[in-house]
Structure 1
Amino acid sequence: MPRSQEIVTVEPDTWTELTSGDALAGAKFQALDGVIAVRRGTDAQPAAAETGWRYGTGQGERVSDLSDISGAAGNRLWGKSLGHTHVEVMVDHA
């Protein structure tokens, strides 16, 4: 199911799926209150040690295709907090 301006809470050291299923028509996201890492992937949760692109409070992306973020395989976005507490992320995708 697509997300429509939904808040997704991401925790430290654990990847959380930002998209709710495949984001075939692109996605928008913004870190609301902390620093996050974001990576593109499949439906398999990335290993906790994997790295991603960093986004601080108020930063994010608006992409029409997930290949604008990464050439990696998959139609999903994953995020995790890079701080010591959870971070809220606004997510929108079709």
Structure 2
Amino acid sequence: MGKLFGPDFITQKYLQQYPNSARARSWAGVGVHIETENGVWRIGGNGYTWAGKPDAWVLPFEQAVRKIAHCGPEKRGRFLRAARSALQEKPHDD
């Protein structure tokens, strides 16, 4: 079993088990990358790349959680703290 959290990531599984924990709340407003089994999501969720690359999507934690809410445990969803502070939001995003 993989780790559910670390200093630079928190998993979807952890959030489902402990949604109101202090650790989960501490991620509020943080810019994150979404990572699933194939890699880090590109801007707008169009394909995969690696964290830190210019085309890696950075969005607010709360929005990222909503984006992968439909994903099952087989996707191994997790959120990686983004190294850069600029958030990139897709136009007309929720």
Normalization by structure 1: what TM-score? 0.33
Question: Considering only CA atoms, is the larger Rg found in Structure 1 or Structure 2?
Answer: 2
Looking at secondary structure, tell me which structure has more helix per residue. 2
Looking at secondary structure, tell me which structure has more strand per residue. 1
Normalization by structure 2: what TM-score? 0.33
Higher RCO (C-alpha 8 Å, min separation 6): 1
